[in-house]
Amino acid sequence: MKTTARYRHRLPQGDGGLFLTDGGIETSLIFQDGLDLPLFAAFPLMRDAKSRQFLIRYYERYIDIARTHAMGFVLESPTWRASADWGAKLGYSAADIAAINADAIGLMHDLRDGYEDRASPMVVSGCIGPRGDGYVPGEVMSEDAAEAYHALQVEAFADAGADMVSATTMTNTSEAIGIVRAALQAGMPVAIAFTVETDGRLPTGQTLTEAISLVDQATANGPAYYMINCAHPTHFREVMEADQDWTRRIRGLRANASRRSHQELNDSPDLDAGDPIELGGQYRDLLQTHPQINVLGGCCGTDHRHVECIALACKTVSAAGTA
C-alpha cells in the first residue's frame, strides 16, 4: 500500500516552535559505530536488516531528545549520496537508486509511526546532496541540467510519500535552482541548505545574500525556507545581518562541530567533535538575533550530544519568546 504524505501541504515547522533534526550521520556512523562508508555514503546500509539497525539506532537517539523536550523533529533520509552519479560509482543502477530512495522514505515513515506524538510532530524529508563534492563547486551544472539530474531522487521521494525535500551542502546557485524547480514540478516543498567557507561565502565566492536572492528570483520564492549547513557558526554569524529580508528566509541551522575549514576537514584523519556545550550556546546566540530560525541539527562531527546541548540552550530562547 502506498504511503501518503502527512504534512506536504502544510509543514508544521512553518508554524513556529522548535524542530530538531539529526547530526552528522556519516561521521557518527564512521567514528562512533566503526562502519566503513565508501564515498561517504550512508544509503548502502539500507540493503539488509543487520545494517539497517545501525540507521534505526542512529535516528532513535535523536528522536528521544526531541520527545524529551517536546520538540518537533525532521526525519532526514540517509540519502545525501543516493543520486545517480554517486550510485554508479558504488555499483548501483538508476533503478536501484530510485528504489533505495523510496525505501529510505519508507524507513522514515516507520520511525514516525513508532514515535510521533502530539507534542513532537515528525516531518519526513528526502535528503539530496550535491552532484559533485560537498566542499567544492567543481564543474557547475546549468539550472536545466541540475533539474533533470536531481529529478530522479525528487520523484522517488514524492512517490514514496515524503513531506518535503531538503537539499544540503549546496555549493552553488545553479544546482540549487535546478533542485527547487524539480521539487516544485513534483509538488514538493523544498528547503535549500547552503554551505559556506570560513569567510561566510559559498565555495563559488558568492555571498549568502546573493545566493538566496538569486534562487528566490529564479524560482519565485520557491523554497519553503533556507538553511546553512556544514560550517561552524563562527564562519557565518558575522555575515548574517539582523532583520533583513534575506536572513528572514533562513530558518534552519546544521552546523559543524569543528572550526576547521572544509579543506582541513577533508585532509584530517581524525574527528574534531568540538565542544557540544559551546556549540549549543552559539546556536542560542544566533536564535536571539534571528528568532525565525527553528530547525536545528548538526553536520560533520556532531552527534546526539551536540543536538542535546542545542535543544537545552535554544529551549530557553523559545520559552522567552513565547512568555
The answer to whether 123 touches 11, Cβ cutoff 8 Å, is yes
| pLDDT at residue 210 is higher than 80 | yes
Between CA 6 and CA 72 the distance in angstroms is 14
Neighbouring residues of 293: CB distance < 8 A, sequence distance ≥ 6: 250, 251, 252, 253, 286, 287
Which residues is 167 bridged to in the sheet?
Answer: 128, 192
Per-residue pLDDT tens digits for 125-175: 999 999 987 666 667 899 999 999 999 999 999 999 999 999 999 999 999
Q: Is 237 exposed, middle or buried (0-12, 13-18, 19+ CB in 10 A)?
A: middle
What does the alpha-carbon distance between residue 162 and residue 130 come to, in Å, rounded to a whole number? 19
pLDDT of residue 132: 87
Q: Across residues 58-81, what is the average pLDDT?
A: 98
Q: What is the β-pairing status of strands 250-255 and 295-298?
A: parallel
Indicate the SS3 state at residue 280. helix
Q: What is the pTM of this model?
A: 0.95
What's the rounded Cα separation, in Å, for the pair 66 and 130?
28
Task: Name which of 254, 319, 312 is nearest 291 in CA terms.
Answer: 319
pLDDT range class, residue 322, cuts 50, 70, 90: very low
Strand partners, 73: 20, 122
pLDDT digits (tens, 9 = 90+) for 14-60: 999 999 999 999 999 999 999 999 999 999 999 999 999 999 999 99
Q: What pLDDT does 268 receive? A: 74
pLDDT of 119: 96
In the predicted structure, residue 321 carries a pLDDT above the cut 70: no
Q: Which amino acid is it at 157?
A: F
- What is the per-residue pLDDT across 263-302, written as a single tens digit (0 to 9) for each? 777 777 778 789 999 999 999 999 999 999 999 999 999 9
Q: Is the pLDDT of residue 254 over 50?
A: yes
C-alpha cell at 278: 559551546
Helix axes 49-68, 94-115, angle to 10 degrees: 40
> What is the biggest distance separating any 2 CA atoms in the chain, rounded to whole angstroms?
54
Average pLDDT over residues 69-92: 97
When pLDDT is averaged across residues 182-202 and rounded to a whole number, the result is 97
Q: Read off the amino acid at residue 286.
A: L
Please tell me the distance from the alpha carbon of residue 72 to that of residue 171, in angstroms, as a whole number.
28
Polymer length in residues for the chain: 323
pLDDT, average across residues 169-196: 97
